[in-house]
Amino acid sequence: MSQPILLRDVVAALDARYRPSLAEEWDAVGLVCGDPAAAISRIHFAVDATLVTVEEAIASGSQLLITHHPLLFDPVQSVAATSTKGLIIHRLISNGVALFSAHTNADRANPGVSDALAQALCLLDVELLEPMADEQGIGLGRIGRLGSPMRLADFLEHVSSALPVGVAGIKATGDPDKMVQRIAVCGGAGSSALPAVISAEVDAYVTSDLSHHRVGEFVDDVGRDGPVLIDASHFGTEWPWLKQAAELLLMDLAGFGTTVETTVSTLSTDPWSIHEPKRSV
Ligand SMILES: [Zn+2]
């Protein structure tokens, strides 16, 4: 008879895929709550642990919620249900749901967050954008190429239909008629990889959370023929990872001989909820 899969088995599989040592020093990855000896038969995936996605995990009958963003970054003195984060912890524990996060370790892992983004955009021949110095095949961001060159305007339409970009839509620099084929991507906030984007000689860079100053300086530096920047939503560029992570985890747990089911959140946790169309200054 097959043994149930325990939370500690799932955590071991996740830690092997998304090595905690790959995470940034400031990050807070791994198990947030949950009993390693608890049996796991259903796992829910979401970008963020919010009251909404936690209720979704509970309703799905999951015993584990896996998120990209950590719930707790800063040291806490209390998880009383008087704060939102405390309430989230209470809802999880009182419903027997563990919480695990793979954040910057999932950004750098291969396959990781940016591989899922590259795949969602149908990029071919995907390679690393910013390799880690001492780790073979691991690093931030990816570069790939479109099957054939596209007008930037058509590529933006492609990005916006491939990703859940939400009400904010996508913004881009440059000329809509520019032809693009070699594309860099980085799921989430990708401004740290802007120097690598210049060295990579790509036609466009898809990421999120680029600031006014960084974009202005970049455009001045690279000029008309340099890479265009495409700012999609933070949530939208990371969401494709959920499906990829669910599939990889199912593969990793297949050896246990017990079936685990996974569900992926379809609720947007993008905090932006309104977009006012363009007006002149
Ligand atoms: Zn993120």
For residue range 165-210, list pLDDT tens digits in order.
888 899 999 999 999 999 999 999 999 999 999 999 999 999 999 9
* Cα 49 to ligand 1 centre (Å): 12
Tell me what pLDDT residue 2 has.
61
Tell me what pLDDT residue 279 has.
75
- What percent of the chain lies above the pLDDT cut of 90? 89
pLDDT in tens, 256-279: 887 899 999 999 999 998 988 877
* Cα 258 to ligand 1 centre (Å): 32
What integer best gives the mean pLDDT of the chain? 95
Q: How far is CA 104 from the centre of its chain?
A: 9
Task: Put residue 51 in one of left, alpha, beta given phi > 0 → left and psi -120 to 50 → alpha.
Answer: alpha
* Cα 220 to ligand 1 centre (Å): 27
Quick check: helix, strand or coil at residue 100?
Answer: strand
* Cα 210 to ligand 1 centre (Å): 13
Tell me what pLDDT residue 208 has.
97
Tell me what pLDDT residue 42 has.
97
Tell me what pLDDT residue 4 has.
85
Closest by CA position to 88, among listed 75, 79, 78: 79
* Cα 270 to ligand 1 centre (Å): 11
pLDDT in tens, 60-95: 999 999 999 999 998 999 999 999 999 999 999 999
Structural domains in the chain plus CATH codes = 5-106+239-264 (3.40.1390.30), 110-232 (3.40.1390.30)
* Cα 141 to ligand 1 centre (Å): 13
Query: Residue 1 above 60 pLDDT?
Result: no
* Cα 239 to ligand 1 centre (Å): 9
* Cα 69 to ligand 1 centre (Å): 6
Tell me what pLDDT residue 168 has.
81
Between strands 30-33 and 39-40, the pairing is: unpaired
Higher pLDDT, 224 or 64: 64
Tell me what pLDDT residue 256 has.
83
Tell me what pLDDT residue 280 has.
75
Task: Put residue 201 in one of left, alpha, beta given phi > 0 → left and psi -120 to 50 → alpha.
Answer: left
* Cα 50 to ligand 1 centre (Å): 14
Task: Put residue 188 in one of left, alpha, beta given phi > 0 → left and psi -120 to 50 → alpha.
Answer: left
Q: How far is CA 179 from the centre of its chain?
A: 27
Query: Residue 149 above 60 pLDDT?
Result: yes
CA angle 73, 164, 126 (to 5 degrees): 85
Closest by CA position to 174, among listed 134, 223, 241, 212: 223
CB 234 within 8 A of CB 262: no
CA angle 223, 228, 232 (to 5 degrees): 145
Tell me what pLDDT residue 127 has.
97
* Cα 234 to ligand 1 centre (Å): 6
